[in-house]
Amino acid sequence: MSTGLFSIGTSALSAAYTALETTGNNIANANTPGYSREIVDLQAQVGTSLSGSYIGQGVTVAGITRAYDQLLTQQVDLAQAGSSQADTRATLLGQVNNLFSATTGSLGDVVNQFFSQLQTLTQQPSSLAVRQSVLSSGQQLAAGFGDAYSQLQQMQQSANAQIGQQIAGVNSTIAQIAQLNDQIATATAAGGSPNQLLDARDQAIQTLNQSIGVTTLQQSDGSINVFLSDGQPLVVGDQVTQMAMGQDPTNPQNIIVGGKAGNTIVPLSVSSAIGGQIGALMQFSMQDIPTVENQIGRLATVIGSQVNQQSNLGQDLNGAAGVNFFSSMSPTVIPSTTNATSGGSPSETVTATFSDTTQLQASDYRLQVVGGNYVLTRLSDGHQTTLSSLPSTPATVDGITISVSGTAVNGDSFTIEPVRNGANNLSVAIGQPQQIAAASPVRASLPSSNTGSLTVSSLSVVGPSRNANLTDAVTIKFTSPTAYTITDSTNNTSTTGTYTSGQPIAFNGWSLTLLGAPQTNDSVSVGANVGGTGDNTNALALAQLQGANLIDGASLGSGYAAAVSQVGTMTADAQAEQQNQSTILKNATNSQSSLAGVNLDEEASKLIQYQKQYEAAAQTLSIASSLFSQIISIMSSAPTG
């Protein structure tokens, strides 16, 4: 009897001590990241039969398990990936927003300053000092765009460098997970429950989700397989697939990120589903930065091309035909490195030019050969257009004209960047203030012999290009109050027309508007503006570009405001997502902590409980020992016979 009691007491003492150790370990790791509270699993030992009844045989420690829920853990991992991505993107876009939200020294300021100087030029077209101010403000305008582009490029390069650092961290973490998988599988096969290893693996997976979003799949041997958002495996048992970053073959200016398959990289699609800091950095580098570069690049391209177009229609201070104020710009075409070749040269070549910069969109394009057809995709919104005229006839879309030479090969692709580099490419082309074309190359005059009430309302040069006969001397002679002929310097009639007051008369690339009533034989002479140093006609046209509807049917100022507004909206949306994801992570973490976390008050209460159990078990052993001694004593004093 005492032997059974002694066995029961021993099991109770051992169980209480194990419970005390486990509780102490919980308290010791209350603030250890990733630690899951441990629970002692106590089970009653099977009793023995005695006269039809069962008498208990004490307690056994069936195991020490973790307070763990797979669903709660996966929810925390998912929330961690979302929160890390949202935090990183909000921070990055905040930097871009700061670049464009400054109230002074912004691109908007230098644009306004440039056109303000042009307005001053309209008042003093022959002043070299004013002309120098226009030239200087043009240089400041180009420098402002160039500086903004440079800062965006630096942000992109920094993001790409951080992606590389994050990938190195990911590869280190997945190697750790694979090693833990091996250790856990070995321990599990031996019948153990390696809680510390399981905690370490969970913590490693959570760390991994800070870098990039992953999904996990529990295996029967205790290991966990880890996959990227698109299903690419990173960890399978104790085997890993490392991540890498490389050049995008379709556009070497861009990067790709994904798992390595031999010497190639299986690229992840850039989307919000990637998760983690890598997801945010990829989205920032390959979507956000190009979006902003295209916005300011379009503004720079439109300003440059429109000012150049108008300058070419004017006349400079020396009486020479106007030339480009800014350097010429053209779309960038980047062939895929995987395009077909013939004899070492590309099978086909694509070129692009600007046809109408007022129709430009703030977007890159991808031209692909699909089933023998050329399909153009506008990357900003995915809109596709089949260019059926190619390759025989150039095609024009969104203000750009695309030409193809060579042999079309299915699968070939070209990235077309009409305006992405516009801010970087804008520069002043003229070197002397005298070269600014403030005057009109033509002027109209009325002879004093006219007897009617004719007056000149306006004379303008019609673009977009300069007519070769623009400055030829011609005479408009009225054969009646409502009819006229236009004759050249040799009195040859070039054309005839019907006159209506206020309606323009167009010829040789100019447009003349007359008011009043002419009499028969009245005339108007139109010819070269010789000695027109004080003429401000073209300066007025240049200054009026600021308010012209040149970007999405709105003015340059509205175009810049829209670009700044888009950056602000992107930033605000990112900050709202940051708050939302932070709340999701907090709630998921709280739910997990309520199950797996250590409550010190509860553990302190358990210490007292297990201490009393230990003391009671010790008392049980003491009583069992005493009873055993008494039995021995009785047996030794019993008479023999």
Query: What tokens does 585 get?
Result: 């992570």
- Distance between CA atoms of 591 and 9, rounded to whole angstroms? 39
| 478: enclosing H helix or E strand | strand 474-480
Q: Which pTM value belongs to this model?
A: 0.88
Provide mean pLDDT across the span 247-255: 88
**Is pLDDT of 56 > 80?**
no
Respond yes or no on whether the N-terminal peptide bond of residue 335 is cis (omega within 30° of 0).
Answer: no
Residue 638 has a pLDDT of 66
pLDDT at 105: 64
Q: What is the pLDDT of residues 301-335, one digit of tens each?
A: 999 999 999 999 999 999 999 999 999 999 999 99
**pLDDT band for position 636 (50/70/90)?**
confident
What is the average pLDDT value for the chain, to the nearest integer?
92
DSSP label at residue 359: G
Cβ atoms of 250 and 240 within 8 Å: the answer is no
Which of residues 415 and 3 earns the better pLDDT score? 415
CB atoms within 10 A of CB 514: 26
pLDDT, one tens digit per residue, over 581-617 is: 999 999 999 999 999 999 999 989 999 998 898 888 8
Under a CB-based contact definition with an 8 Å cutoff, are residues 463 and 309 in contact? Answer: yes
239-240 sheet: strands from edge to edge? 214-218, 224-228, 233-236, 239-240
pLDDT digits (tens, 9 = 90+) for 353-401: 999 999 999 999 999 999 989 999 999 999 999 999 999 999 999 999 9
Give 456's pLDDT tier (boundaries 50, 70, 90).
Answer: very high
Question: Which pLDDT does position 618 carry in this prediction?
Answer: 87
Parallel/antiparallel/unpaired status of strands 38-44 and 59-66: antiparallel
Q: pLDDT digit string (tens) for 267-309?
A: 998 866 799 999 999 999 999 999 999 999 999 999 999 999 9
Higher pLDDT, 54 or 398: 398
Per DSSP, what are the bridge partners of residue 215?
227
Query: What does the CA dihedral 477, 481, 482, 488 come to, rounded to 10 degrees?
Result: 0
13, two tokens: 């003492």
Neighbour-count burial of 39, counting CB atoms closer than 10 A to its CB (0-12 exposed, 13-18 middle, 19+ buried): middle
DSSP state of 440: -
CB 426 within 8 A of CB 300: yes
Nearest one of 185, 166, 164 to 174, comparing CA atoms: 166
Tokens of 529: 């503006």
- pLDDT tens string 509-543: 999 999 999 999 999 999 999 998 999 999 999 99
CA dihedral 157, 162, 164, 168 (to 10 degrees): 170
Q: What is the pLDDT of residues 196-220, one digit of tens each?
A: 999 999 999 999 999 999 999 999 9
pLDDT of residue 600: 92
**Average pLDDT of the residues in 87-103:** 89
Residue predicted with more confidence, 25 or 630? 25
**Contact by Cβ (8 Å): 387, 338:** no
φ, ψ for residue 475, nearest 5 deg: -125, 130
> According to the model, what pLDDT value does residue 122 have?
97
Residue 483, helix vs strand vs coil: strand
Write down the residue that tokens 């046209």 correspond to.
541
**Residue 252: what pLDDT?**
84
* Alpha-carbon distance values, 127 to 124, 403, 547 (Å): 6, 44, 24
pLDDT band at 640 (very low <50, low <70, confident <90, very high): low
Q: What is the pLDDT of residue 385?
A: 97
Question: Given this model, what pLDDT does residue 617 score?
Answer: 83
DSSP 404-419: EEE---TT-EEEEESS
Whether the ω angle into residue 249 lies within 30 degrees of 0, i.e. cis, is: no
Give residue 46's pLDDT band: very low, low, confident or very high (50, 70, 90).
Answer: confident
